[in-house]
Amino acid sequence: MITETAPPEARTERRHLDEGLVRNLGLVGVLIILVVIGIITRPELYSDPTWVRNNVLVILQQAAAIGVVTVGMTFVIIGGGIDLSVGAIIALSGVWATTLATQSYGAGGMIFTALVVGIAVGVVNGVLISYGKLVPFIATLAMLVSARGLAAQISGKQTQVSANDTINGIATTKLIGVPLLVWILALVVAAGWVLLNRTTFGRRTVAVGGNPEAARLAGINVKRHTLYLYALSGLCCGLGAIMLTSQATSAQAAMANLYELDAIAAAIIGGTLLSGGRGTIVGALFGVLVFSTITNLFAINNLSTEVQNMVKGGIIVAAVLIQQFRYRSLTQLLKR
Amino acid sequence: MTAAGESVTGEVVLRLTDVVKTFPGVRALDGVQLEVRAGEVHCLLGQNGAGKSTLIKVLAGVHHADDGEISWLGEPFAPATPQAAMRAGIATIYQELDLVDDLSVAENAFLGHERSRFGFTRRRSTAARTRQILGRLGHAEIPPRRAVRALPAAGKQIVSMARALSHDARLIVMDEPSAVLAHDEVANLFRIIRELTAQGIAVIYISHRLAEIREIGDRVTVLKDGRTTAANLPARTTPTRELVGKMTGRSIEYVFPPRRELTPTEPILVVEGLTRHGEFADASLAVAQGEIVGIAGLVGSGRSELLETIFGARRADAGTVTLAGRRITGVGSAVARGMGMAPEERKSQALLLDEPVYKNMTLASFAGFAHGGFTDARDERAASLKTADLLDLRPRDVDRPARTLSGGNQQKVVVGRWLLRGSKVGGTKLLLLDEPTRGVDVGARAELYQVIRGLAEDGVGVLLVSSEVPEVLGLADRVLVMREGRLVHEAPADELDEDTVLDLVMAGSLLEGEPT
């Protein structure tokens, strides 16, 4: 039974504020729990402040490339789509940027190539979906297969070592004690937040994902915007490819395997609605950090990746279940 | 074959006495009387919203009557579920046929009561039984194992009837069965109906087409505002005037703001020969500055499709749309040139329900508020609040999600969107309103009428579609009547009355021999 106590205006406004906040607070809670588990299992490591500081940077550094990709993914999902090809785009961009021919143009040429290849593949996705009217799932699934195929073709299934010191140096450079990769992640997250919340591009994204017909009848070019969203995701993948190539000092067709799953999972855990129209960049960042922290937790306890994957799957389910439960109880609470 | 006679001799199978059904805020059925005899075709007549759909859903077990008595075959009858109604022998064929496209004809006919043994379906005997039923319907040529998807609309209707017969139905309710059929298919439908009634099956037939009622019907019951206003009129001989009069005789008086004199101006919207195959054909109309033009027509007459095509949301097969002398080629150019539309389905076509009111209001103009691509939420909020005041939006709060508003206020948000665009980006010259008061309660309607009239007085041209004839007559300066995809009549609103328009909308019999 709905009994009104608070005036309705105040109630809805508060609910609107709380939703995002509580969700993010929940993820912070999960992060804290993970750290506490770390402290309990390896108290000797956590007693060393230098180790703790370095470990935090390691976690952030591991989150960097996937974090950048997740920002792009979040835009696509809010816009009502899905991009299953992000891992494959990274592989293709990375391989293309590290061919001997591209490497001869230096670091600038390699970066340029990776970004352009990423955008180009994103545009192909976008055209297929917007104008070819393919379902996003199918179009990007096909791209997942063929982009990796092309990457294998170009690289001849070989690992292509990067001989460029500037590229390789990105992963080892630090600014004010913080790795450059982490700075890049911070910059992309900040730019993503501004783009989503403060620009006409972001407003269109929410409108197109929330109610495409309403957006269309309000004069928004839905098809063109959808195309932009996949191009943006491709751009993020290109950037991610450079970061990963720098970390490994090489690229290969099998790189960034299953990144699409990690990125989608992080976005969803972060509160992005899979049906589109709602989502947050900050939530997505927390989602990435949760995964990265779990990986780290397993690494410092010397546990196998198999167990890690099982736990990851469990965490995804648990996080979404908890969120649904909390969302429901919160709305019920506010109705009272 | 029985000639559909004036005197029906079968015993009464169904009797409704003072049936009442209320929904939150609406008394959908408010004392319905109905008497149906075995072997007759009983026609139900009434305007949109008169309660026909609710009534047949009560009979079908979808809704449950709150009050009154229903007796079926002499026993009190209150089906708890659609299955119960089916088992009792009442089958309903809805306008939107409820068939599963990918199942076969036989599987559809026996859907919900599959013939099976130990959980295995008995395909052979089901097919045989279906073939037998189809033969009874005079359509032995339809293969029982064919997927329903592959059948034309008329064929699907036969399958629906086969399903009714598979339950040994003794009463079949048909909701506008002819709406989806071509002319010769209607003749076939009538032949089947006559055969069914010859076997003693009663039929409740709903249609807006008076000509059909005259041809197939035995008796007519008229509903209006959830009440029976006339029962058991002879279908053939009752004059059209009387039938239409029973349907309209007003009870709720809408309050319309007074009209003002229009000074004739150049038309801003000119539509010429607009055609979309299968929806509407050769529509030509014009709307002048400050003029309200109303299109009266039934659901399915092509009116919403026409409006959406004018707006560029559907691609025309032929014809042109010009706004203030410029060709409209798509939604983008329509909006850019100063057209706005409030579509029929507010929730699915116009609103971002989870987003705040102000973002919904600025959906067509946020780019105009932006500086170098950055949105200006403060400015948008202020402008939205101003528009909200103008439209008397309640509650006066532009930050709450659109979902939390009432239907009337949601409609104000959609109309406000185009006002806001007009004031910010410049020049909303023409508003297309599709069923602007649908789902809006009576009090809020008067306010919306005021708003629409006010817009026109500020020089905005309005093209309005409504299935409620009084609304069109009370609001519009000029009325166009649309029937079966064609604009069949045009006249100033004050030269028309409700009966005439209804007659034109449904049958057009007054039009014959009348110069247009």
Residue B204 lies in a domain: yes
B112 or B350, greater pLDDT: B350
Phi, psi (deg, nearest 5) at residue B117 = -140, 125
Query: Which residues span the domain enclosing B32?
Result: 12-89+170-248
Residue B308 has pLDDT above 60, yes or no: yes
- Cβ separation B364–A219 shorter than 8 A: yes
Amino acid B443: pLDDT: 66
B348 touches chain A (CB under 8 A): yes
Integer Cα distance of B191 and B114 in angstroms:
29
- Digit-coded pLDDT (tens) for B294-306: 999 877 788 889 9
Domain final position from B427, B443, B477 = B427
Residue B151 lies in a domain: no
Integer Cα distance of A237 and A262 in angstroms:
13
Residue A263 has pLDDT above 60, yes or no: yes
pLDDT band for A31, please (50, 70, 90 cuts): confident
Integer Cα distance of B39 and B51 in angstroms:
24
Residue B453 lies in a domain: yes
Q: Are residues B73 and B219 in the same domain?
A: yes
- Digit-coded pLDDT (tens) for B467-488: 778 888 889 999 999 988 889 8
B343 touches chain A (CB under 8 A): yes
Q: What's the mean pLDDT in A251-270?
A: 91
Number of domains in chain B: 3
Residue B165 lies in a domain: no
Amino acid A185: pLDDT: 96
Q: Are residues B216 and B83 in the same domain?
A: yes
Of B373, B339, B325, nearest in space to A199 by CA: B373
Residue B442 lies in a domain: yes
Q: Are residues B85 and B217 in the same domain?
A: yes
User: CB contacts < 8 Å between A and B, how many?
Assistant: 83
Integer Cα distance of B335 and B364 in angstroms:
8
Of B388, B390, B389, nearest in space to B410 by CA: B388
Nearest CB to B354: which of A8, A215, A277? A277
pLDDT band for B178, please (50, 70, 90 cuts): confident
A77 or B83, greater pLDDT: A77
Q: Are residues B303 and B397 in the same domain?
A: no
Lowest-confidence pick of A269-273, B52-56, B254-258:
B254-258
Of A39, A209, A222, A50, nearest in space to A126 by CA: A222
Q: Are residues B433 and B516 in the same domain?
A: yes
Amino acid A143: pLDDT: 96
Integer Cα distance of A8 and A77 in angstroms:
31
Residue A76 has pLDDT above 90, yes or no: yes
Amino acid A304: pLDDT: 80
Domain final position from B219, B248, B277 = B248
Q: Which residue out of B339, B375, B379, B428 would a mutagenesis test of the A interface target, given it has the greatest number of A Cβ atoms within 10 Å? A: B375
Residue B475 lies in a domain: yes
Amino acid A271: pLDDT: 84
Full set of structural domains in chain A with CATH: 8-335 (1.10.3470)
Q: Are residues B327 and B442 in the same domain?
A: yes
- Digit-coded pLDDT (tens) for A192-221: 999 999 999 999 999 999 999 999 999 999
Q: What's the mean pLDDT in B82-97?
A: 85
Q: What's the mean pLDDT in B171-197?
A: 85
Nearest CB to A210: which of B334, B355, B395? B355
The sign of the CA dihedral B277, B283, B288, B294 is: negative
Residue B448 sits at the vertex; the CA angle it makes with B447 and B454, to the nearest 5 degrees, is 90
CA distance to partner chain A, nearest, from residue B463 (Å): 16
Q: Are residues B410 and B487 in the same domain?
A: no
Residue B412 lies in a domain: yes
Identify the CATH number of the domain in which residue B476 sits: 3.40.50.300
Which chain A positions have a beta carbon within 8 Å of B374's beta carbon? 198-200
- Digit-coded pLDDT (tens) for A153-196: 999 989 999 988 899 999 899 899 899 999 999 999 999 999 99
Q: Which residue out of B310, B346, B374 would a mutagenesis test of the A interface target, given it has the greatest number of A Cβ atoms within 10 Å? A: B374
pLDDT band for B507, please (50, 70, 90 cuts): low
Residue B121 has pLDDT above 70, yes or no: yes
Residue B440 has pLDDT above 80, yes or no: no
Q: DSSP H helical segments within B206-272, as ranges?
A: 210-216, 240-248
Q: Are residues B174 and B54 in the same domain?
A: yes
Q: Are residues B374 and B438 in the same domain?
A: no
pLDDT band for B9, please (50, 70, 90 cuts): low
Task: State which residue of chain A sits closest to B350, comparing Cα positions.
Answer: A214
Amino acid A255: pLDDT: 93
Q: What's the mean pLDDT in B96-114?
A: 83
Amino acid A251: pLDDT: 93
Residue A277 has pLDDT above 80, yes or no: yes
Domain final position from B378, B401, B427 = B427
Task: State which residue of chain A sits closest to B333, comparing Cα positions.
Answer: A219
ipTM of the complex: 0.81
Q: Are residues B272 and B284 in the same domain?
A: yes
